[in-house]
Amino acid sequence: MIIVLTGIDGSGKSTAARALVQAVRARGGKAMLLSNHAGRRTMSVLAARWGVQLPARAADAAETVLRVANVLVSHLRARRFDGMVVIDRHLHCQLALRSMKGLPRGRFLPWLLAALPQPAAVVHLDLEPAEAHRRITARGTDSETLADLSAFRDAYAGLPEFGGFIRVDASLPAAELVQRMLQAVDTLPGGPGESAEGAAVTN
């Protein structure tokens, strides 16, 4: 079983992904975390340090190559794992970034997204841009403007796939957020809830 987490920067995807895996393991289930970063944060930090700004298409091309490579590796690893695989970020993230930047979806990413094994669910961590901006500023490792975060949130909402996402309020306290995610995936066929009751969890 594959569960994908999406959300704007600052929504807590990586933290929530780790917490979800730990919660499933604590209940006796098997779970693994995989991440599909695109190097966007690193590129933005380096660009700010060097005082340069990559053109939108060039940045997207670099991010897409790295994201696709990571996604393919993640799916290969997921095929070999008998349990729940939580994937932090996926191709949906790159499609939302393209929309935010005013770039076309293209044909390759939507085709690849449809061709890959479909996740049991895409859980979207929804957060107000102002709160996401506060979190990003507090961690001090990168920077995003409030306008960009608002545009990113709108871009996610505009994805054709967004209607099928399970949306969870990312402003909830950590423990409650994990419980909401567990409740969401427990209702899925073959979910960790079945595993906790003695049923096998399969990919």
CA 35 to chain centre: 8
The answer to whether position 49 is within a domain reads yes
Least confident of 22-36, 39-53, 121-135, 176-190: 39-53
Beta bridge partners of 85: 2, 32
pLDDT at 179 over 70: yes
User: Which pLDDT score, from 0 to 100, does residue 203 have?
Assistant: 36
Per the structure, the complete domain to which residue 63 belongs is given by 2-196
For the segment 134-157, the average pLDDT, to the nearest whole number, is 91
The answer to whether position 154 is within a domain reads yes
* Whether the Cβ atoms of residue 60 and residue 101 lie closer than 8 Å to each other: yes
For the segment 188-193, the average pLDDT, to the nearest whole number, is 73
Look-up of token digits 């794992």: 81
User: Which pLDDT score, from 0 to 100, does residue 160 have?
Assistant: 97
The answer to whether position 54 is within a domain reads yes
The answer to whether position 159 is within a domain reads yes
User: Which pLDDT score, from 0 to 100, does residue 137 have?
Assistant: 92
pLDDT confidence band for 198 (50 / 70 / 90): very low
Q: How many domains does the chain have?
A: 1
User: Which pLDDT score, from 0 to 100, does residue 190 have?
Assistant: 72
The answer to whether position 203 is within a domain reads no
The answer to whether position 73 is within a domain reads yes
Per-residue pLDDT tens over the stretch 94-139 = 999 999 999 999 999 999 999 999 999 999 999 999 999 999 999 8
> What CATH number has the domain bearing residue 6?
3.40.50.300
Residue 128 CB partners (closer than 8 Å, separation 6+): 171
CA-based max dimension of the chain: 56
The answer to whether position 202 is within a domain reads no
